[in-house]
Amino acid sequence: MTNNLIKQILKGDARAVASLMSLIEDGDPKVKAVLKAIYPHTGRAHVIGVTGAAGTGKSSLIDRMTAEYRRRRKTVGILAFDPTSLFSTGAVLGDRIRMRDHFVDDGVFIRSFATRGSSGGVSAAVREGIHLFDAAGKEVIFVETIGVGQDQLEIAALAHMVVVVLTPQMGDEVQGMKAGLAEIADILVVNKADLSGADETLQQLKASFADEDFHIVATSAIKDQGIDSLVACIETHWSESLDNGKYQRRRLSLCRQELLSLLREKVFAKLAKKIGDDSFETQVKLIAERQKDPYSAVDKLAKLIGI
Ligand SMILES: Nc1nc2c(ncn2[C@@H]2O[C@H](COP(=O)(O)OP(=O)(O)O)[C@@H](O)[C@H]2O)c(=O)[nH]1
Ligand SMILES: [Mg+2]
């Protein structure tokens, strides 16, 4: 059964991919054996993180960029951290129908994750999803995350490049985000350029980031404007990174972070089991009652497992 599943995944069979995705979401122990078998066939896809506040138009942009990549005869995978993010509640019916066009296209796989059954978190599930789409032959993989706090850093640990989506309405907020943006963004998009204030926002961003080396692109997902420039910009950035060594460094960094998080998960699970829930909860109560401080408590637990 597993061998057959592996064979079908490598052929790019949509049903096989979907069934493994469900196992990934459940945190099923069978998944690891399949991932080990398909891993040698990964490393070909270009993984693009798309992040930004809710409602900025990330899903709409991914939808339009997917159409553009399909025109360029590239296959696409789309992953999202939570099921609501691909269809915002504000989206009009027309948007949903457009995204649905891709559902019936064999060249496009779409998947979002709810919670993760086992340990490791959604981030680990998304990472496994990326490997799966990659092994199944998808050439471009979009990962949509809402850019608040932790997720924003997580996306940088998952993708080869990060596109941050802003809108003209955000104006002054952008100043406050400057440091954070510079840290993670490879490309800044001012979406909803059909709304008033777009030019000012664009000028303001260009001035603020004059000394940074990332691109700034204006788009209107709804009017399908600027999408070809955005995709061209992504492709240029990609080939430049391949040439100047940035991609290779990024790849090492992604592998390092993946290995570290797997190691952390494994070591922690093992040690947590050794300590046991009871001893842990006993310490928690002692801390809450101020009979103990957390620093001495951790020393005590560490002693239990001989570290
Ligand atoms: N005016 C305008 N509205 C847009 C544009 N792109 C997306 N929207 C709308 O913004 C809302 C949120 O879009 P969505 O793609 O779900 O945003 P997300 O939460 O960032 O994924 C929807 O109602 C879209 O129709 C655009 O370029 N211009
Ligand atoms: Mg969305």
Ligand 2 center from residue 100 Cα (angstroms)? 14
Q: To which H or E segment does residue 65 belong?
A: helix 58-71
**Same domain as 255, residue 280:** no
Ligand 2 center from residue 3 Cα (angstroms)? 35
Ligand 2 center from residue 79 Cα (angstroms)? 11
Which pLDDT score, from 0 to 100, does residue 46 have? 97
- Which residues form ligand 1's pocket by a CB distance below 6 Å? 52, 54-60, 85, 88, 90-92, 95, 191-192, 194-195, 220-222
- Distance CA(252)–CA(172), nearest Å, equals 36
Q: Is residue 24 part of a domain?
A: no
**Same domain as 142, residue 202:** yes
Angle of helix 2-10 versus helix 14-26 axis, rounded to 10: 120
**Same domain as 285, residue 166:** no
Q: Is residue 289 part of a domain?
A: yes
**Same domain as 83, residue 48:** yes
**Same domain as 201, residue 135:** yes
Which pLDDT score, from 0 to 100, does residue 199 have? 87
Q: Is the pLDDT of residue 210 over 90?
A: no
Q: Is residue 234 part of a domain?
A: yes
Q: Is residue 8 part of a domain?
A: no
Express each pLDDT in 133-154 by its tens digit: 999 999 999 999 876 555 566 7
**Same domain as 225, residue 111:** yes
Q: Total domain count for the chain?
A: 2
Which pLDDT score, from 0 to 100, does residue 171 have? 65
Please give the share of the chain, as a percent, with pLDDT higher than 90: 57
Which pLDDT score, from 0 to 100, does residue 115 have? 59
Q: How confident is the model at residue 54 (pLDDT cuts 50, 70, 90)?
A: confident
Which pLDDT score, from 0 to 100, does residue 96 have? 47
Q: Which domain holds residue 290?
A: 276-304
**Same domain as 291, residue 250:** no
> Among 27-41, 61-75, 144-158, 216-230, whose mean pLDDT is lowest?
144-158
- Top pLDDT among 144 and 213 is at 144
Q: Looking at residue 59, which CATH number applies to its domain?
A: 3.40.50.300
- Distance CA(105)–CA(174), nearest Å, equals 37
**Same domain as 289, residue 238:** no
**Alpha carbon nearest to ligand 1 atom 22, residue:** 91
